[in-house]
């Protein structure tokens, strides 16, 4: 997040999923430096529960998407409604995963538009139409337009297959990250979930998990281990924390409450 994104360096964003009995709302302390993102409420067993409308953006197979779908189904991710899956690739298997789980799935491909600007407008429209409270980038190989990032400030998260600030930034994606880690000879790598700002992999970090590099690793074997041991763990955990009001952003850093 750049300095302009945090006015006076004191703004805080808290994802609030207040649960209240009957029609009364749990009172919140008024504070000009606190900004709450309150998802639409839904009725359950006589209680009003605010569900977080989540849009997942993905370009490929969607293994991280599947981890989220499974987490919601198992109940390890709560207060979440998977509203839509968006892909820039009409052949992405992630779209089939979404359809199989009964989730609205749409393709917004730059090939279908006459300019990058038109594509960006269509992408923003697809997110808006889904009523997104949070956007999850789960292997989305598209540089987001600034308009989308600004509109959904601190409401977009990304999973990156390294321990940021190592092996991140422009040009580091997919196998390239693991190739670089092996070339450098690191003994430990991992994955990071972070909020998205207008830089590249520079937003506030939410969670990280380390993974050992083993002798004889190839980029492919390391990629698989990082997915299994880190990505599929911390992305669902981060989503659950956000959906249950436990993540705040203050002074460019996250604050996680128990």
CATH code of the domain containing 76: 3.40.50.170
- Tokens found for residue 39: 């998802």
Count of domains observed in the chain: 1
Whether 28 has a pLDDT exceeding 50, the answer reads no
pLDDT over threshold 70, residue 191: yes
8 Å CB contact between 85 and 93: no
DSSP states of 12-45: EEEE---EEETTPPPP----TTEEEE-PPEEEET
Tell me the average pLDDT across 112-116. Answer: 96
Q: What confidence score (pLDDT) does residue 50 get?
A: 78
Give the separation between CA 53 and CA 22, rounded to whole angstroms: 22
The residue whose two tokens read 């430990």 is 188
Candidates 110, 111, 132; CA nearest to 123 is 110
> What pLDDT shows up at residue 258?
77
Q: Which residues contact 163 (CB under 8 A, 6 or more apart)?
A: 188, 189, 190, 191, 192, 208, 210
Residue 3 has pLDDT above 90, yes or no: no
- State mean pLDDT over 205-216: 98
Residue 120 has pLDDT above 70, yes or no: yes
Catalytic residue among 16, 120, 160, 178: 160
Domain span at 127: 3-256
- Name every residue whose Cβ is closer than 8 Å to that of residue 253 and which is 6 or more positions away in sequence: 204, 205
Task: Report the C-alpha gap between 97 and 228 in whole angstroms.
Answer: 18
Closest by Cα among 205, 208, 193 to 249 = 205
**pLDDT per position as a tens digit, 127-176:** 999 999 999 999 999 999 999 999 999 999 999 999 999 999 999 999 99
Look up 178 and say whether it is catalytic. no
């Amino acid at each position: 997040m750049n300095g302009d994104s945090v006015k006076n360096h004191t703004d805080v964003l808290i994802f609030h999923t207040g649960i209240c009995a009957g029609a009364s709302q749990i009172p919140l302390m008024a504070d000009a430096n606190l900004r709450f993102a309150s998802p639409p409420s839904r009725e359950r067993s006589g209680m009003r529960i605010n569900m977080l409308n989540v849009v997942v953006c993905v370009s490929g197979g969607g293994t991280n998407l599947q981890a989220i779908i499974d987490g919601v189904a198992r109940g390890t991710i709560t207060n979440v409604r998977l509203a839509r899956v968006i892909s820039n690739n009409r052949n992405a298997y992630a779209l089939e995963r979404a359809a199989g789980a009964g989730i609205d799935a749409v393709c917004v491909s730059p090939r279908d538009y006459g300019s990058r600007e038109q594509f960006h407008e269509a992408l923003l429209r697809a997110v808006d139409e889904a009523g997104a409270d949070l956007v999850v980038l789960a292997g989305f190989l598209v540089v987001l337009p600034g308009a989308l990032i600004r509109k959904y400030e601190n409401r977009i998260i990304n999973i990156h297959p390294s321990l940021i600030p190592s092996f991140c930034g422009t040009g580091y994606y997919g196998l390239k990250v693991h190739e670089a880690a092996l070339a450098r000879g690191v003994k430990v790598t991992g994955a990071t979930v972070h909020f998205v700002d207008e830089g590249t992999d520079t937003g506030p970090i939410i969670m990280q998990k380390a993974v050992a590099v083993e002798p004889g690793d190839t980029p492919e074997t390391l990629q698989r281990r990082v997915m299994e041991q880190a990505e599929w763990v911390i992305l669902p955990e981060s989503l659950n924390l956000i959906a249950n009001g436990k993540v705040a952003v203050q002074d460019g850093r996250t604050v996680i409450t128990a």
